[in-house]
Chain A
Amino acid sequence: MSEHPERSTTAAGPATTVPAVELNGITKRFPGVVANSDVTLKVARGTVHAIVGENGAGKSTLMKILYGMQRPDEGTIEVDGSPVTFHTPADAIKAGIGMVHQHFKLADNLTVLENVVLGSEPRRGWRLDIEGARRKIVGISDRYGLDVDPDPLVEDLGVGERQRVEILKVLYRGARTLILDEPTAVLVPQEVDELFDALQELKAEGLTVIFISHKLDEVLKVADEITVIRRGTTVRTVLPSEVTPRKLAELMVGSELPSPQTSESTVTDRAALEVKGLTVRDREGRPVVDDVTLTIHAGEVLGIAGVEGNGQAELVEAIMGIRPAEGSVVLEGRDLAGVPTRERRTAGVAFVPEDRIRQGLLLESPLWENRMLGHQTSPPNARGPLVNRRGARADTERIVRDYDVRTPSIDVTASALSGGNQQKLIVGREMSGNPRLLLAAHPTRGVDVGAQAAIWDHLRRARAEGLAVLLISADLDELIGLSDSLKVILRGRLVADADPSTVTPEDLGSAMTGAGSTTDGGPAAREGSES
């Protein structure tokens, strides 16, 4: 096989003994499609091995095979040198392989301890051995520095803590090899650092970690070896010291790529959106968005940095008219007080929601009906009170083409698309119809590198034509790269401004957690720009 992907020699690699996990020639076919083809992977014991690849490159299928959720059609799996066949995840767990899913599988209303033992409850006689379980959990937590308290309810834990509970749960079942699926997708920079510290502890104790991600800088930071997967097959295995993020990204997409930097400012002095004293209250009357005042000019991208759950979603929903709020919202000189959501949309407000499954899509409807969602009253989707099916379909074809939505047809339901392709469809839809203001929450979340660049391009082009953008993102590089100005939100308040041309992700990260010079509720401090 001349086209067999080359791999870096293991001489420089950290392992010389039997690999913890070895996959050889794994091929998995679904009817009409090969999801994995001749995948070869060698993971050395006691290392962090990253697997990177675009959405749909076949990472998930590979991990499902390794975790016993699917069986390969061809190829062998070896764990610690001996061949194994997994029929169910239980088999994989028995062989010492555990999986931490991207979406946590924890019961909110149970305690940490109950969640950990769920499904493998320790018994003494007929009774549940709570004390034994507690000792074991505390033991594991101490040994690997996970800092997990067995007693609180999971619903009271933060995202980072939940993740550590998931890791502990897997270790509790005796896993020696952990698969982490996109573990940093939900974390803020500080939490990511904590996770990486924990991974180092695991490694030091001789455990093996398989780390799936498409955040390349993180991969380079944490991994001992990196395997790139593209179009279902392993393309290359590299050492982090051999590559730059850019090089790695190019390996992933197989071509050169652009960066999020915007070239020149297109900011005008025409205010597109003026928000004054906007306050949103929760059911108990506490402000979740607290006296927010901001102005976005035509042609300007205003980035809002903040840890998720600090009022960003509520702020956006208030501007959309979905949530009742105090204060004023003025769009191009028109006061939107009392204006319903539909009218705001027709006035030119576009919306890429944070939670695309919940707010952005009709999962069971075909793509062309999803194209209409939010724009069902205006051309090309409507003609008077009637739906214009032909217009909507034709325009969906256009979005599929322009935004590279990978789909066999516009008649498949939205649920069939991968997350990245769903996102591309949403962005394409919201950029249609010449919007005046775009409220974009995580516009490239879950989207692969190539598509991310395409979405950035579209945003930049629209911005040059005078679109005002309110950008909310957890990807600080994206925020800094795209924004013309930046504000930091903490507990519903805008607590700091930053200059995207000088601020670093680290500065922004500490401002987001309130660790900077700003005190709670204090006046906006111009930090970030001075470091």
Chain B
Amino acid sequence: MERFVPRFDPRRTGLAILAPLLALAVAAALSSVVLLVADHSPLVAFQEMWNYGRKPEQVVNILNKGSGYFLSALAVAIGFRMNLFNIGVDGQYRIAAMFAAVAGAAVTLPGPLHIIFIVAVAVVVGAVWAGVAGLLKVYRGVSEVISTIMLNFIGAAFVAWAVTPQVWATLENNVVRTPTIPESGWFPGFSWSGVPEGGTQTVVFGEIYGFIVISGLVGIAYWFVLSRTRFGFDLRATGSSEPAAVASGVDVKRMVLTSMLLSGAVAGLVGMPILLGAAHSFGSQDFPAGIGFTGIAIALLGRNNPVGIAFASVLWGFLDVSNQILDIQGIPKEIVTIMQGTVVLAVVIAYEMVRRISVASEQRRVLSSERTVPTDPAVDASSGGAK
């Protein structure tokens, strides 16, 4: 039974939770300073954000944004666990979403099959795009950081070219979009309705993307593969010490390629919540550049842990959504960007501190088991005997 129970070490868990909380506090403090300098009350600003972000309509928005962020961060985290920096999630997600939209609109299939087809196209395109960087690294020793950044630009240019009326898009109401996917390829969402605060009538607050369930399943799969399979062990071993992994029999080249493909495949899913749940066609305004980079920040904040990443995604979504109210209140909404930036910086520092503290405390524990206090009678007995 024991293997199904995660080892719970209250000390370690406490430290692990403390770090991001500490980082948040630092970020809040720094943002407060900036707000004070700009002559705004931090208390008012935070209060406004909190009250606004709590509204059911905004909760829907936060979850919807968060589901994309979550996938993006998972894609980054797969690389991170292996010491690979997939900076190209941004390009992979956009090019995958674009191809999926075009392909989805071009075919007619019965309901679930249609969705599966669209998702499969996205996964394959994302994996292929990331795989280019993987191949370059394995066969030519090109750093994946450089190649994925370059592929971002190439991908962005390709999307810009493809999404024009001359190629795959159409111009409707002054907006350039790819053709709309037939309704069989829409992923049903969860409609949330209720009586708003102070209201009497029941209203629909909004629709949570149904794909959020798939995001959750991907998160569970990520956890399972990494911590419960031999493949995951190899991947983590390669990440923590390549020479040790090689000596243990891991084929590192193959590992690089596989994890790059996996990372790209998950990156391909990033655009699916919005494509299948709301947009139903590809247009640049719905699939902005930058979600891939946000994923890097969220993966760092969530420490490559799926639960941590889930919380971090929601936090990011909340910050994104609630900055709208600041604008309305005349408070510069850039404060949220400052906060997001400082949170990432602070969390990196906090995690390193926590790591050192826990290593030190562990070493003390080991030390105490290696040696007992020298009131041990053996000491006296033997030194006496050696006279």
Contact = CB atoms under 8 A, between A and B. Distances in A.
Contacts of A369: 233
A364 interface: yes
Contacts of A31: 364
Interface in A242-275: 247, 250-251, 254-255
A387 B229 contact: yes
B154 interface: no
B240 interface: yes
B247 A374 contact: yes
A233 B374 contact: yes
B386 A250 contact: yes
A418 B9 contact: no
B43 interface: no
Contacts of B247: 320, 322, 341, 351, 353, 359-360, 374
Given A230-B379, A342-B249, A374-B248, A387 B367 contact: no
Given A406-B369, A417-B366, A233 B379 contact: yes
Given A233-B374, A364-B240, A416-B366, A372 B359 contact: no
A517 interface: no
A363 B366 CA distance: 14
Interface string A326-345: 00000000000000111111
B55 interface: no
Interface in B231-245: 231-234, 236-237, 240-241, 243-244
Given A34-B374, A372-B233, A362 B241 contact: yes
B374 A382 contact: no
Interface string A197-240: 00000000000000000000000000000000011110110000
B376 interface: yes
Nearest to A413: B362
A285 interface: no
Q: Which residue, B3, B234, B236, has most C-beta atoms of chain A within 10 A?
A: B3
Interface in B164-220: none
Interface string B237-277: 10011011011111100000000000000000000000000
B380 A387 contact: no
A58 B371 contact: yes
Contact of A5 (B244, B378, B383): B383
Contacts of A251: 382-383, 386
A307 B246 CA distance: 25
B376 to A, nearest CB: 6
Contact of A386 (B229, B249, B372, B376): B229
Contact of B241 (A56, A247, A363, A418): A363
A56 B370 contact: yes
Given A254-B379, A387-B232, A416-B362, A358 B370 contact: no
A360 B359 contact: no
Given A377-B249, A407-B366, A358 B241 contact: yes
B39 interface: no
Contacts of A385: 229-231
Contacts of B373: 33-34, 37, 232
A388 B379 CA distance: 42
Contact of A231 (B233, B237, B363, B376): B376
Contacts of A418: 366, 370
A415 interface: yes
Given A351-B247, A386-B230, A33 B371 contact: yes
Interface string B343-387: 000000000000000010011111111111110101110110011
Nearest to A238: B386
Chain B interface category by residue count: 35 or more
Contact of B364 (A30, A355, A406, A411): A30
A421 B244 contact: no
A185 interface: no
Given A362-B244, A377-B230, A235 B379 contact: yes
A24 interface: no
Contacts of A158: none
Given A231-B371, A359-B243, A33 B3 contact: no
B228 A342 contact: no
B154 to A, nearest CB: 33
Contacts of A387: 227-230, 232-233
A412 B12 CA distance: 11
Contacts of B372: 231
Given A382-B230, A387-B229, A255 B382 contact: yes
A35 interface: yes
Interface in B1-33: 2-3, 7, 9
Contacts of B229: 385-387
A184 interface: no
Given A30-B367, A37-B373, A361-B244, A3 B251 contact: no
Contacts of A372: 233
Nearest to A394: B2
A322 B374 contact: no
A57 interface: yes
Interface string A374-396: 11110000100111111001000
Given A233-B374, A359-B243, A33 B364 contact: yes
Scoring A6, A31, A360, A373 by chain B CB atoms within 10 A of each residue's CB, the highest score goes to A373
A6 to B, nearest CB: 7
Nearest to A253: B382
A340 B251 CA distance: 8
B233 A376 contact: yes
Given A5-B383, A251-B383, A376-B230, A407 B359 contact: no
Given A57-B371, A231-B379, A376-B230, A247 B362 contact: no
A344 B251 CA distance: 13
21 contacts: A5-B383, A37-B373, A56-B371, A250-B386, A342-B248, A343-B249, A359-B243, A359-B247, A362-B236, A373-B237, A373-B248, A374-B249, A376-B249, A377-B230, A382-B230, A386-B228, A386-B230, A389-B3, A406-B366, A408-B365, A418-B366
Closest 5 CB pairs of A and B: A342-B249, A33-B368, A374-B248, A254-B382, A406-B370
Given A5-B383, A231-B374, A412-B365, 11 more contacts: A30-B367, A235-B379, A251-B382, A340-B251, A345-B249, A362-B241, A364-B240, A374-B249, A390-B2, A406-B366, A411-B7
